[in-house]
Every structure is written in C-alpha cells, then in structure tokens.
A = this chain, B = another copy of it.
Amino acid sequence: MGGDFGPRCIIPAVARCLQQIPGFNVVLVGSPEPMASLSREYRLPDDRVSFVHTSETILADDLPASVLRSKRDASMRVVIEQVRDGVADGCLSAGNTGALMVLAKTLLGTVEGIQRPAIMAALPVAGKFCHVLDLGANVDCSARQLFEFAVMGSEAVAELTDIERPRVGLLNIGSEINKGSLRVREVSELLRDSRSLNYVGHIEGHELFQDRADVVVCDGFVGNVVLKASEGLAGYMQDELRRALAGSFALRLMAPLLRRALKPMGERLDPNRHNGAVLLGLQGVVVKSHGNADQQALEVAIGQAVRACQSQMPQRIAARLARCRGELL
C-alpha cells in the first residue's frame, strides 16, 4: 500500500468505494499497521475486506530490475501475485511505475504478440478525449514496441468508447514524413503500411488538443513529460485565472456566478478526475494511480480498476489483438 500519502489516504477512499460500488470486495496488501487501525477507524465491513500483510516496500528510487530479484515480500509484488493466483480480479498501485511495469509483466505475462505493456491516459479535448500512450512505463522503446502501443491503444479505445475505428496518430515534431528521431521515422513507416489501423499520420504537440486523433503513440519519456507538463500548465493557468478575477471588486461580487460558469472546465482539466491508468497488454488488470493522488483521486482510480475487471478488459483486448496478429508478428 503505497503512494505519497499511504494508508491514511487509501483506507478512507476504500471505505467510500465500498459504500458506493455494489459487489466490490477488497484485498488490502501492506504492513499490518496503520492498515488495521485505520480499517477499524473507517469501519470497513469484515465480510468485504481481507488483509495480506507484507514486510517490504518498493521505493521511488528502487531500480525495476533489482525489484524483481529482491523485495519478494513487497506489497506491490504481493498485490500482483493476488491477481496471478486468482485471489483478486485486478489490482491498483500508486507506487514506482517502472517497478510496477516489470513486476506485472513478469508475474502476469503479456498478451501474445506484445513485448511490453503500456500505460494509457486520456487528455480532455473539446468534450472528447485524446488517449496517449505510453506514459512512463517504457522509457527506451524500439519501433516495434511503439507499433504495438498503436495496436493496443486502438483496440483499447475501440473497447472503452463507441469509436469503431479510432484515429491513430504518431507524436512527432512535424507533419512531414522525414521528421523526427530515427526511431520515430522507423515506426512512422510501419504505421503507414498497417492495414488494420486507421492511421492519420504525425501529430504535433499542439494537435493533441485539436481533436486530430483518438489515440496518440509516443515513448514513455515523451508521454510522461507531456502529460505532466499539461497538468502543470492547466494548474498554473487556473491559479492565474483566480488571481485575475480576484483583482477587481466588481468581479469579486460576481464570484459565485463565475465559479459556476468555470466549474465544468476545471473539472474536465482536473487530473484527479482522470486518475487510474490501465496497463495495457497484460494478462490481468493492473491499474496505476498517480503517486500523489489524494482521497478523491484514489476513489476514481478504484472505480477504473473495478470497471476494467467487470468488462474483462484484458481478455477483450487480447481477442481484438488476435485479429490483427498478422501485423504484430
């Protein structure tokens, strides 16, 4: 049980979700204390909660490779083992992304034809979403892996939304085919040649917010930086907006009206409301929460994990991937 705020934030989020989500049962994995006392404090119902006690913790600076060999009793490892062993239908973690990726890949395995799982999240665009992957699970990606992300992203978005043939774009620094790094030019060619994908070409940074594509592929370094920069800028602009509106007496009088008018925009851009990214391509449901998620954000992520389990997302994506396996192998 990790993340920046630990059980003090997770237990109340679990308590709320137990009240709100019928049929939701939970296995809490972590050190006995403060898990047990907090569970009593928030009156978690005995019949829907079980505990697995662990003695080790994976830290933010633990190397993914070393995590595999050591720390066999870390909560992040044990929670994935619960999924592997069929005790849990899926799991949620707010810990070290690289370690989560490696442990999940090793313990659960990937879907046939997929080398590495990827993390996808959605940027809000004009009432819709632009899904971006990978977001940090894979820092150095080969062209082949980027191509797999495109296939997984396309299938996942087709599964999650009512878009039948999602528009797939490649994040790049220009629209011309000779633009980009060596690797990006290589995958650009693979994507152009694909018959199963609805490939729409290169997407530049600003086009992420112009509804040019439903799925945008990039390596985990670029994806992580762009997602966090977008969150940072949205937060900065909202602070500036508040300051600007507080600067005039007349506008301060209008504050309730302004708050009501601006609330939907704030909610659309609030990263906490989009918390919980599914690791795509795994044989099992693993959901990654922001490390600094607060209680509300954790509730959203738990909801995502429950939905992914209920819809049997890994099986559905695997079935879809099987149909375009010819292109993957």
Contacts and interface: CB of A to CB of B under 8 A. Distances in A.
B182 A140 contact: yes
A232 B254 contact: no
A93 to B, nearest CB: 16
Interface residues of A, number: 64
A261 interface: yes
Contacts of A60: 174-176
A171 B225 contact: yes
Interface stretch (A43-51, A81-89, A262-270, A274-282): A262-270
Contact of A250 (B174, B208, B254): B254
Interface SS majority for chain A: helix
A247 B260 CA distance: 11
A329 interface: no
Contacts of A182: 140
Contacts of A244: 261-262, 264-265
A174 B231 CA distance: 15
B206 A228 contact: yes
A127 to B, nearest CB: 10
Contacts of A309: none
A248 B241 contact: no
Interface in A125-184: 125-126, 136, 139-140, 171, 173-182, 184
A264 B244 CA distance: 8
A179 B139 CA distance: 9
A237 B236 CA distance: 12
B261 A247 contact: yes
Interface of A: 60-61, 63, 98, 125-126, 136, 139-140, 171, 173-182, 184, 204-210, 218, 220-222, 224-237, 240-241, 244-245, 247-248, 250-251, 254, 257-258, 260-262, 264-265, 268-269
11 contacts: A61-B178, A173-B225, A204-B225, A205-B224, A205-B227, A205-B231, A208-B232, A234-B237, A237-B237, A237-B269, A251-B254
